[in-house]
Amino acid sequence: MRDAVWHVGGLEGLPHAVDGPLVWRVRLDDPEAAAWARGAALRPEDLRDLAGRPQAAMRGVRRQLTRVLLARVAGCHPDAIAFVRGEAGEPLVQAPQGWFISIAGRWPHALIGVARQPLGVDIEPEDAPPPPPDALTQGEREALAGASDAILVSRWAAKEAHAKALGIASRLEGSDIHTWLDGGVLRARSTGGETIIRLRRQDGLVCALALPRRP
C-alpha cells in the first residue's frame, strides 16, 4: 500500500501530482470553500444526478471540490472531468480515464479521496455514538470487548471505507464486514474482497482510507 498524502484546509498546500492516494479534508462552512468550489462548475448531468438526493446543495459543493481536486492532480481542466454512477450507486470517474474517487461527509466536514486505483474514505466524529453490537461480527465483538467508544467508531469508519473501496457500499451491512489488526495493520474483509485500512485521527475526527488488497 503506497503512502497516502493527507491534506487539511485550503487549496494552497494541495500537491499537483501524487504517486499514491491523496485525501483532502475540508470544512464546507469555511467561507473560502465556496470560492474554491467555484473553480469547477456543475455540469447538467451533475445537476440531474444530485437533484433527487438529500442535501443536494451540499452534495453539489462536494462534487465541485472533487472536480477541483481531480483536475489539479490529473493535470486537466475541470470541465474535462465527467462523473457517472456505478451499478451500486457509487461515484465513478468517466473522464479522465484511470482515476478513482471516494467522497464522505459529516457536516461541516468533507473528505475527498483521489487515486489511480480504487479507494474508499469515511469520516466520523470521534465522539459519535458507537455502532450497535449487531453491526459487528462475532469475532469483532470478542476482540473489542471493553474497547473504548472511540475505537469502535474507528472500526465503523473502517467498515464504511472498505465497502466504498469495493464499490458495494449500498449492498453491505456492518456485520458483513470483519475488521482485525494484523501485526499492527488494520484490515477488513467481506465477500467482496479484502482491504488495508489507514486511520488518521485529528481535530476530534477519525478519517479512514481503504485500499483493496492486491493478490
The three state secondary structure string of 70-99 is: HHHHHCCCHHHCEEEECCCCCEEEEECCCC
Buried b (16+ CB within 10 A) or exposed e, 52-86: eeeeeebbbbbbbbbbbbbbbbbeeebeebebeee
Alpha helices in the chain (DSSP H): 31-37, 44-51, 56-74, 138-143, 149-165
| CA 162 – CA 56 distance, rounded (Å) | 25
Other CB atoms within 10 A of residue 210 CB: 32
Buried b (16+ CB within 10 A) or exposed e, 104-114: bbeeebbbbbb
* pLDDT of amino acid 180: 98
* pLDDT of amino acid 171: 86
* pLDDT of amino acid 172: 87
Short-list 203, 141, 132, 134, CA closest to 175? 134
Backbone angles phi, psi at 133, to 5 degrees: -55, -35
Residues in the chain: 215
* pLDDT of amino acid 162: 97
Other CB atoms within 10 A of residue 168 CB: 20
137, 154 contact by CB (below 8 A): no
* pLDDT of amino acid 214: 74
95, 101 contact by CB (below 8 A): no
53, 43 contact by CB (below 8 A): no
pLDDT digits (tens, 9 = 90+) for 5-28: 999 998 888 888 788 999 999 999
Type and span of the H or E element at 109: strand 109-115
**pLDDT by position in tens, the chain (length 215):** 568 999 999 888 888 878 899 999 999 999 999 999 999 999 999 999 999 899 999 999 999 999 999 999 999 999 999 999 998 889 999 999 999 999 999 999 999 999 999 999 999 999 999 999 999 999 999 999 999 999 999 999 999 999 999 998 888 898 999 999 999 999 999 999 999 999 999 999 999 999 998 76
Short-list 150, 182, 176, CA closest to 162? 176
| Grid coordinates given for 140 | 469483532
pLDDT digits (tens, 9 = 90+) for 26-67: 999 999 999 999 999 999 999 999 998 999 999 999 999 999
